[in-house]
Structure formats: C-alpha cells, structure tokens
C-alpha cells in the first residue's frame, strides 16, 4: 500500500513551552484523496500542518513523501517536495495583479526584468488544466474572497504542488463560494492532487472528504469515513462528549416592539447605497435572524444599529426613543448590547487583560470609576472574576492578555461583558464565526437565554444552520434590501437559499 501514499507522517511530537501541541501523531494521505483533519480549536491541527510545511521543527517524528523519507527544514523544502499550503489568512499583496502575486518568490525573468507575459501564459495554462478560472490581470483587492482563495490554490499549483494543505479554507467563504471550492477540490483530486483539508465544520466533511482523521488535545483520537458516520458522530469524536448541535428552545413569547428600523438607507464610502430603504421591527422576547450572503448590506445595517456607522436616510428607535447615530455610548446607556462581527477589530483590545476587556464599554461608570476619573481596580477585578465564572471563560487568570485566548474563549469574554449589562436589544453579528462546536453550543444557549429574559435579539449570520436553529423570524437580505421576512417555522434551507440568491421561491 505504501506506494499509494502521497504523504506519510510518522510519530510527530511537537512541544511548546508548557504544552504538547502534537503528541506522537501519525497521519497518511493517499494519492488523489481528500483527507479531512478534524478537531476543535487548539487540538493541534494547524501545528501539525505547520510542521509538515516546515514552519515549525518537530521534536520527534519523520516524513515520507511518495514513500521516500525526507527532511523538511523550511517551506522551501516543502515546496520542493510538492507540498503547497493555503493559509487561513491569505498571503497575497492586495495591490498586485493576480499574475504578479502568483509569481512572487519564483519570478520568471528575461534578462534582468520580469517576464510577465510568459508568466501570464503559464498561469492561464494551469488555470485551464485544473479548471480554476481567474483573470490573471485583475488586481487582487478588487476580486472576491472566493477568487482570492483560488489564486492561493493556483499559486501552490504553479509551484508544482501535488499535495495541498487547505487550512480552514471555508472560514472566509459564503456558502456558495464554499460549494465552488468543493467542486474545485474534487476536480483537483481527479487530476491527481492529494488534499489535506483542515476544518471543524462537520457538514463540509461529510460533503467532500474521502477519509477523516480526528484530533483532540494534540492526539489523533480516531479515523473514520463519511459513510461510517454522521454529524453527531463526528461531533462526539471531536469534542469527546455528546454535544447538542441544535439549540433547544421553547416557542418565543414576543412582547412590545423594542427596536424599530424605518426606511433606513446607508451609503458606503464610494457613495453607493448598500442598505436601501429598509424597515423592520424587533419585539422583546424574540430572535430576528438576518440571513444573506456576506456583503449584501448586513454588516452596514448592524453597524448603523449599534452606532458604529452613520446613515443617509431613515431612523431607528429604541424603546420609542430615536437613536442618535455614531454614538455607541448612548446606545450602551440605553440598553443595547453588541457582539460585533470582528471580535479582534472591535470586540476586544487584544493586548489588554481580560479584566480590562470586560469593562471596555462601562469602564467610566460606577463602580469601575470614582471621583477624578480614578479607576477602581477592586471593582474591575470583582466584575471579571464573576464573569469568568458565570460565562465559563477558560483562562489561567483574568490578568492574561485577551490575545492569548482561543477564539471561543475570546467570544465568551465579549458575550459575558455584553450580556451582563441590563439589555433591551442585543445585536449579535456572526456570533459563532470560527468557533468550535462546544463554544457554538454554549453561545447559542446564552443567546436563547437572553431572549427568554425578554431581550429583543437580532442575529446576523452567514451560516444558514445558525439562523435556522436560533431565529424565531427570519429576514433575508439581498443587495441591500430585505426581500422577505418569514416565520422560522415556515423556513427551509432551500427556500432561504433561493431568497438569498435573489429569487422568490413562492413565485416559481
């Protein structure tokens, strides 16, 4: 069987100070297969792949490429052995063209100057051979994320990779773009490329993988195939206990309208309307889900409601009071909670410790500050201790920087901070993006709890499953408009998918 293996990893151990990231891990990749590597955040998947790619030196272990033992001492070696890696965060120069990005680091030259013409031709050939369409002359910052990812994959193929490592490739993609990617992946394997697919999304694995290896706490805990298992089975293997994939919730008990959006129009920096004349209400005690493909105005809408962005027409009222725009503090003081879309950019100050992050919006209020702007350390500490306990934040102490926490724990810090204030309205924008199953389960439960306590909740999400399992009513956005608001009971994936794509399922 050995001759069928494109890559074999034997007994790799990688230690970081105080933690074993990979503990005697073995893994193999057959030629032309998609082998999923599944595990929660911190399970050691990316570490293993960084070891394979030569970014980390392993403490123990060996590698075989095509049955031959090899030494990988850096990405350069990895590339020579035909290993290509597409990172979660793209390594592209935004202002360069696709061609320029592609040849970066292995430039084709004619004399002393770049031979862009030849490079362009080669790229077109490769993109045709593998069925990956790109415009070689497009500037990277102008093309959609899904296409940028295609450029990353082409970049690896251009360097003659036949083993591709895709690190959480769908984290940044819309459902449609993800489908495209899966098509491309299958196509690549037909052409003889072998793919390691790192993910923690169960549905994708069932959808696209040939085999699955599950990691937990630095160790391989099992192997399976999509035919032998289902989502629940994978989740249990990954987390090590039974998890609830669906939120358990009682029917909503909606009360008075707490947030009302009327004829809202928002223009972006280029003066293009991104939100067009939108109106809707949110009642206390219900969850309104806002579905839509990323980039159809949801971000701008959420930013306007939460005071991060100005508007061009319309008004928003919070319990009958018109809200002033771009005044997040007014909103904090009037019962608005906000779990922002980008927790690193808006939600946290990463170098701050947890205690400071937990008073980020209320630091100036009593008891956190007294006379003469003096901060009250004891009160801040007490608040942090309470929230750590109540929201199950896993960290050695409240004095560690937020940057050292996993995504799930970072989100729990934000959720703890926002949910512990007296709220009337809560806006949760992509509340579980990039989180592992255990954290998703927890945050969904907390959101439902807020609803049951009488808060009007808006959940914006690109994940249909999240919308379907959380929302009581669902509004679908398409090109800046709300195209429909339907009761969650009547919604199906298919129906929502059609609305999201701009067509009306009831007419067809």
Partner 1 sequence: MDDQAEKEMSTSSGSWLGRLWRTIAVPLAAVLLAMLIGAILLAISGADPIKAYSALFDGAFGSMKAFGRTLAKATPLIFSGLAVAFAFKAGLFNIGAQGQLLFGALVSAVAGFMIHGLPPFLHATLALLIGASAGALYAAIPGALKAYTGAHEVITTIMLNYVAINITDYFADGPFKDTTGGNIVARTPEILDSARIPTIGNIPLGFVLAVLAAVVVWWLLWHTTLGFEIRTVGLSPHAAKYAGMKVAFTVILTMVISGFLAGAGGAIETQGIVGRYQPGFNAGLGFDGITIALLGKTHPFGIIPAALLIGAMKAGASTMQFDAGVAKEITDVIQALMLFFVTADMIVRKLIHARDDGGEKITLSGWGQQ
Q: Report the interface residues with partner 1, using CB under 8 A.
A: 16-21, 39, 41-47, 50, 55-56, 88-89, 168, 198, 217-218, 307-308, 327-332, 338, 340, 345-352, 356, 360-361, 363-364, 369, 372-375, 394-397, 399-400, 403-407, 409
Nearer to partner 1, 349 or 483 (CB): 349
> In DSSP terms, which residues pair with 482 in a beta bridge?
477
Nearer to partner 1, 282 or 393 (CB): 393
Nearer to partner 1, 100 or 353 (CB): 353
- Separation in Å, CA 265 to CA 15, 292, 340: 53, 17, 21
Minimum separation from the CB atom of position 16 to partner 1 (A) = 7
| CA-wise closest residue to 129 among 168, 56, 187, 82 | 187
Nearer to partner 1, 244 or 350 (CB): 350
- Separation in Å, CA 20 to CA 55, 130, 217: 17, 39, 8
Minimum separation from the CB atom of position 49 to partner 1 (A) = 9
Minimum separation from the CB atom of position 291 to partner 1 (A) = 24
Nearer to partner 1, 144 or 351 (CB): 351
In angstroms, the CA 391 to CA 409 distance is: 9
- Separation in Å, CA 40 to CA 168, 274, 426: 12, 35, 27
User: Which structure tokens are listed for 272?
Assistant: 């293009």
Minimum separation from the CB atom of position 398 to partner 1 (A) = 11
Minimum separation from the CB atom of position 408 to partner 1 (A) = 8
Minimum separation from the CB atom of position 78 to partner 1 (A) = 15
In angstroms, the CA 3 to CA 148 distance is: 34
Minimum separation from the CB atom of position 491 to partner 1 (A) = 31
> In DSSP terms, which residues pair with 7 in a beta bridge?
29, 65
Nearer to partner 1, 150 or 417 (CB): 417
Minimum separation from the CB atom of position 21 to partner 1 (A) = 6
Nearer to partner 1, 380 or 476 (CB): 380
Report CA 485 to chain centroid distance, whole Å. 25
Contacting residues for 344 by C-beta, under 8 A, at least 6 apart: 350, 410
Contacting residues for 169 by C-beta, under 8 A, at least 6 apart: 86, 88, 149, 181, 197, 199
Kindly report the number of other CB atoms within 10 A of residue 15's CB atom.
14
Nearer to partner 1, 17 or 320 (CB): 17
Q: Specify the long-range contacts of residues 384-389, CB closer than 8 Å, at least 24 apart.
A: 384/354, 384/355, 384/358, 384/359, 386/420, 387/358, 387/413, 387/416, 387/417, 387/420, 388/354, 388/416
Minimum separation from the CB atom of position 41 to partner 1 (A) = 5
Nearer to partner 1, 123 or 414 (CB): 414
What crossing angle do the helices spanning 437-452 and 407-419 adopt, rounded to 10°? 10
Minimum separation from the CB atom of position 47 to partner 1 (A) = 6
In angstroms, the CA 87 to CA 95 distance is: 19
Q: Torsions phi, psi of 24, nearest 5? A: 55, 55
DSSP letter at 250? P
Nearer to partner 1, 21 or 291 (CB): 21
């Amino acid at each position: 069987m050995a001759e069928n293996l494109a890559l074999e990893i034997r007994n790799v151990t990688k230690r970081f100070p105080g933690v074993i990231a990979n503990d005697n891990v073995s893994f193999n990749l057959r030629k032309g297969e998609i082998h999923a590597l599944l595990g929660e955040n911190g399970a050691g998947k990316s570490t293993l792949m960084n070891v394979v790619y030569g970014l980390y030196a392993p403490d123990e272990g060996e590698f075989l490429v095509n049955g031959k033992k090899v030494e990988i001492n850096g990405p350069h070696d990895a590339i020579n052995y035909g290993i290509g890696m597409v990172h979660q965060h793209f390594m592209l120069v935004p202002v360069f063209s696709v061609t320029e990005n592609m040849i970066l680091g292995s430039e084709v030259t004619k004399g002393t100057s770049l031979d862009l013409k030849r490079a362009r031709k080669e790229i077109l050939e490769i993109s045709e051979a593998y069925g990956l369409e790109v415009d070689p002359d497009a500037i990277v910052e102008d093309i959609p994320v899904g296409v940028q990812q295609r450029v990353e994959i082409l970049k690896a193929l251009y360097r003659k990779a036949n083993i591709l490592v895709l690190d959480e490739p769908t984290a940044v993609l819309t459902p449609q773009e993800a489908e495209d990617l899966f098509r491309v992946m299958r196509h690549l394997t037909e052409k003889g490329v072998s793919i390691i697919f790192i993910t923690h999304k169960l549905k994708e694995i069932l959808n696209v993988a040939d085999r699955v290896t599950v990691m937990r706490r630095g160790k391989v805990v099992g192997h399976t195939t999509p035919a032998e298992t289902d989502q629940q089975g994978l989740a249990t293997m990954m987390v090590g206990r039974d998890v609830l994939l669906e939120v358990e919730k009682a029917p909503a008990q909606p009360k008075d309208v707490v947030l009302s959006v009327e004829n809202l129009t928002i223009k972006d920096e280029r003066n293009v309307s991104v939100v067009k004349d939108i109106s809707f209400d949110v009642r206390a005690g219900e969850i309104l889900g806002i579905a839509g493909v990323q980039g159809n105005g949801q971000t701008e809408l959420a930013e306007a409601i939460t005071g991060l962005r100005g508007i061009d027409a319309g008004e928003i009222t919070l319990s009958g009071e018109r809200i002033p725009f771009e005044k997040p503090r007014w909103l904090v003081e009037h019962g608005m909670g906000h779990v922002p879309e980008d927790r690193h950019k808006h939600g946290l100050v990463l170098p701050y410790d947890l205690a400071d992050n937990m008073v980020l919006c209320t630091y100036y209020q009593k008891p956190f500050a007294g006379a003469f702007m003096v901060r009250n350390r004891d009160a801040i500490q007490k608040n942090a201790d309470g929230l750590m306990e109540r929201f199950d934040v896993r960290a050695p102490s409240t004095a560690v920087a937020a940057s050292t926490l996993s995504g799930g724990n970072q989100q729990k810090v934000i959720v703890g901070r926002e949910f512990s204030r007296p709220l009337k309205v809560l806006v949760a924008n992509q509340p579980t993006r990039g989180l592992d199953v255990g954290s998703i389960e927890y945050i969904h439960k907390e959101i439902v709890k807020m609803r049951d306590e009488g808060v009007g909740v808006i959940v914006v999400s690109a994940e249909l499953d999240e919308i379907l399992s959380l929302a009581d009513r669902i509004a679908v956005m398409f090109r800046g408009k709300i195209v429909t608001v339907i009761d969650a009971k009547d919604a199906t994936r298919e129906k929502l998918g059609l609305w999201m794509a701009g067509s009306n399922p009831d007419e067809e």
